[in-house]
Chain A
Amino acid sequence: MDYPVWDVAIGGSILMAVVAITHVIVSHFAVGGGLVIAVTETLAVKRNDPHLRELARRSSLVLILVSTVFGAISGVGIWVVAGLISPAAIAALIRNYVWGWAIEWVFFIVELLAALLYFATWQKITKQAHLALIWIYFIAAYASLVIINGIITFMLTPGSWLTTRAFWDGFFNPTYWPGLVLRTGITLIMATAFMLLAATRLQAGERPRIARYLGLWLVAGIAIAYAGFRWWEGALPDAVRTLFLGETPKLATLAATRHFLLWSLTAALGLGVVFLLAVPRAARLVPALLIMAAAFAFFGGYERLREGVRKPFLIHDYMFSNGVRVDEIPALNTNGILSRAGFGAAAAAADPGVHGREIFRAQCASCHTIDGYQGIRKLLPDDAGMIAGVLGVMRTQGETIVALPPGRPIDKSQLDYPFMPPFVGTEAELESLAQYLAGLAAAPGAALAE
């Protein structure tokens, strides 16, 4: 709202989803891969097993090429995109959790150095020294997950932080431990998915044994992830659960996402049991790719669900997805949203004809494009009065939210538009926005009015 609006054709949330999901797939592999490679090489040394050693060696190349390059850079990419599409939220998060991120940075440096040294010293240092490197790698990588999980889960369930504003209250929030168990399982699933690729390059005679070995890791990961997921669902506030669970979920698409992710997990389990445990000779490239696809679908589905149930907030009960904070609704209703949106106010001052458009950009454009992703035009009734009526209800919704007792999760199921931030601004701004939207509805296919 305060910041200039970055126009991105495909929609900011789609861009964020693409960057974030590809990053988390790789970053979770980086954690779980650490454990599986460490155990694999330890077993290889103990049993003097050259094939397990070869699996660890090949997997370490995948780890370097995928994690230290793609993982590290896409992690920066998440910050870049978040800063472009949700600067207010990332600013608030950083102000609360900068020491958490600083600590994660320390673990990341250790993790990176360990990975690079580990990969570079195959056949160059003693077995024990080499094992020490991969175990240090895993400990540092897991520690970084322990930290970032606190910040991610905080955004959905800030818990008592809402009243205390204390770092650790937000960090060890109601979904922290379930989230950690779930993500621990996911790290093992991702590790198996990527290491299966390395395993397909092993000697044909050894592949079945290695496939079975990886199959056990996969099944363990799936079991832990499933337990963590169900625990996570149970730890959500009732007001959030009713959105996607129960006989009549409030949002059918989120309920469908939940079904999708659970079926994907089931598919990964089925494929793993058949191709890795029951008939491991069949564990060639295509089954490996199918297992990968099912695993990624599950993880992507979970991230989608987690983001979806947070709507309309970026930080639950604190900041809406358009950067408006709950505590500033009264001031914005009095002074107007353009009192804070400097770029919008400047444009509207130069040309009063774009007043409504600038209110749209300040308040709605973080989620809605005009005709693209979540395109607003196709959602609009073509009657200006009806649009103003809906906006009026959304404005009242903001007043309802402000009147709720602070520190308790807002029961979104009691709201008329539970997934939308309220409309904030003056009556005149509401009218301007309604006219602008009615203009859009009346001119199908026309470009954004200049």
Chain B
Amino acid sequence: MNPSLVPALDPTPIPGPAWLFHVLLVFTFFLHALFMNLALGGTLIAAFAHLGGGSPARLALARRLMGVNGYGISFAITTGIAPLLFVQVLYQQYFYPATILIGEMWLLLVAFLMLGYYAVYLYKFRGAPARGTGGGGWLAVAAVLFLAIAMVHVAVHLIHVQPATWARIAARPWSILADPTYFPRLLHFVLAALGFSALVMTWWAVRQAGAGRDVELNTAIASHTWKWAIVTTLLQVVDGFVLLMVLPRDVLIGLMRGGAATLFPLGLSVLLGLGLLMMLARVGNPVAKPGLVTGTLGGMILTIAVMAITRHQVRELYLAPASAGSVIPVAPQWGNFFLFVLLLLAGLATAAYMIRLVMTSPAAGREAA
């Protein structure tokens, strides 16, 4: 490799210890992953639900998914801002070159996101949710655009952790697709998105059915999304092992020799994946087992959290040769950090207050806003 391609470290100190930014990066990425999963997986499932005209249950599922995504995509964007911020604090000298090397695609990501989001709104206002039928094309457009965004993200990630490839990428940007981990990694994210969205929708439908609302419809939706969850989780377990095996040798060895710090999250996520599969396979009719459905969804969220840690550790292992010996200067701004924490708590309290306000202030007719 040619280490001189990595830009010199900015002498400006970072305003807090590195571990704090690592924690914030992983935590906010986890939050982002939840909403991103809903945006990507939900749109894909909804688009598939429209194939062949779609049964009433499938159209109801698509409507429900896109109802969630009107909010979900916004929050996928908003929660994505924080990890984008923290990744720049910690990895600026790797991250910017990676984005510049595939600059056109990185910029197109913004256009894809905007067009995809507006396509979702077009579906809501001009498709089945508003007119009872149609609009599957808008969903397909949105799904393809969101998939393209995932592809760009995976590319930037793989480029930024491998400075040794930069000279090659500069000459042939598309060669990143030939990275042996590219497609297993992309599939890992897409399957997680599908599985998570399917489980959220199952959980919702099961709760609705349990409360006696549209029992037949909700039973059909739950059964459909449960199948999505089973198939994608099964594929995920296989793909997870493939991804592990195609990792560069040093990275894999680093994971295996990292002691409890790396083996615990990795082992836990493998066990959780297998456990999820067993729980999914045990249930034929999810509406009859609401507790198990909630447990499975909880298990899925925990798996995503643990995988976010492993993903971060893999990044560090990839970058170990390039970053050896470099020390980021630190000059903590603790006052500003605590102000951030204080305002974050106040912000979360305000968010909770608003949701409670909406739930507890129903009104109709002249009393309503």
On A, residues with C-beta under 8 Å from B are 2-6, 8, 41, 65, 68-70, 72-77, 79-81, 83-84, 87-88, 90-92, 94-96, 98-103, 105-110, 112-114, 116-117, 121-133, 136, 140, 167, 340, 342-343, 345-346
Q: How far is the CB of B367 from chain A (nearest CB, A)?
A: 6
Q: Is B8 in the interface zone, CB < 8 Å from A?
A: yes
Q: Give A399 Cβ to nearest chain B Cβ, in Å.
A: 21
Query: Contact at A345–B4, with CB atoms within 8 Å?
Result: yes
Assuming the A-B contacts A70-B114, A100-B336, are A4 and B101 also in contact, with contact meaning beta carbons closer than 8 angstroms in the complex? yes
Interface residues in B1-56 (C-beta closer than 8 Å to A): 2, 4-8, 10, 12-16, 24
**Is B13 within 8 A of A126, CB to CB?**
no
For chain B residues 138-195, which have a beta carbon within 8 Å of chain A? 166-167, 170
CB-based contact A84/B100 at 8 Å: yes
Pairwise interchain contact A109-B340, C-beta atoms closer than 8 A: no
Which stretch in B69-77, B255-263, B301-309 binds the other chain?
Answer: B69-77
Beyond the given A77-B110, A124-B368, could you list 7 further A-B residue pairs with CB under 8 A, ordered by the A residue number?
A: A76-B81, A103-B343, A108-B78, A109-B75, A117-B355, A136-B354, A343-B5
- Does B238 sit at the interface, judged by CB under 8 A? no
Candidates A6, A107, A131, A342; contact of B369 at CB < 8 Å: A131
Query: For the complex, is B285 an interface residue (Cβ under 8 Å from A)?
Result: no
Q: Closest approach, in angstroms, between the C-beta of B233 and any C-beta of chain A?
A: 30
Distance from B111 Cβ to chain A, minimum over Cβ atoms (Å): 9
**How far apart sit A129 and B369, CA to CA, in the bound complex (Å)?**
8
Counting CB contacts under 8 A, is B351 at the interface?
Answer: yes
| With A4-B100, A116-B71: A103-B339 Cβ-Cβ less than 8 Å | yes
A-B contact pairs, 10 of them (CB 8 A): A3-B7, A41-B369, A69-B74, A76-B81, A87-B7, A112-B74, A112-B75, A113-B351, A127-B367, A132-B354
A387 to B323, CA, bound (A): 40
- The count of A-to-B residue pairs whose CB atoms sit within 8 angstroms is 211
Chain B residue at smallest Cβ distance from A350: B167
CA–CA, A122 to B364, complex, Å? 10
Do most interface residues of chain A lie in helix, strand or loop, or is the interface mixed?
Answer: helix
Instruction: Flag if B347 contacts A106 (CB, 8 Å).
Output: yes
Contacting residues, chain A, for B12 (C-beta < 8 A): 91-92, 95-96
Judge whether B294 is part of the interface by a CB distance below 8 angstroms: no
**How far apart sit A110 and B74, CA to CA, in the bound complex (Å)?**
12
Known: A105-B81, A112-B78, A126-B369. A117 touches B99 (CB 8 A): no
Q: Nearest residue in A to B368 (C-beta to C-beta)?
A: A123
Q: How many whole Å from B228's CB to the nearest CB in chain A? A: 26
Question: Is B264 in the interface zone, CB < 8 Å from A?
Answer: no
Out of A72, A103, A122, name the residue touching B78 (CB < 8 Å): A72
Measured between beta carbons, the chain A residues less than 8 angstroms from B358 are: 117, 121, 125, 129, 133
Q: A4-B100, A72-B74, A112-B74 are in contact. Are A106 and B13 (CB under 8 A)?
A: no
B324 interface residue (CB < 8 Å to A): no
Bound-complex Cα distance A70 to B115 (A): 10
Q: Assess A109 versus B107: contact at CB under 8 Å? Given A2-B8, A80-B99.
A: no
CB distance B4 to A121 under 8 Å? Answer: no
Q: For residue A343, which residues in chain B have a CB less than 8 angstroms away from its CB?
A: 5, 166, 170
Selected from A95, A109, A131, the residue in CB contact (under 8 A) with B14 is A95
Would you call B336 and A109 a contact (CB within 8 A)? no
Does B281 sit within 8 A of A, measured CB to CB? Answer: no
In the complex, are the beta carbons of B336 and A99 less than 8 A apart?
yes
State A70–B84 Cα separation when bound (angstroms).
18
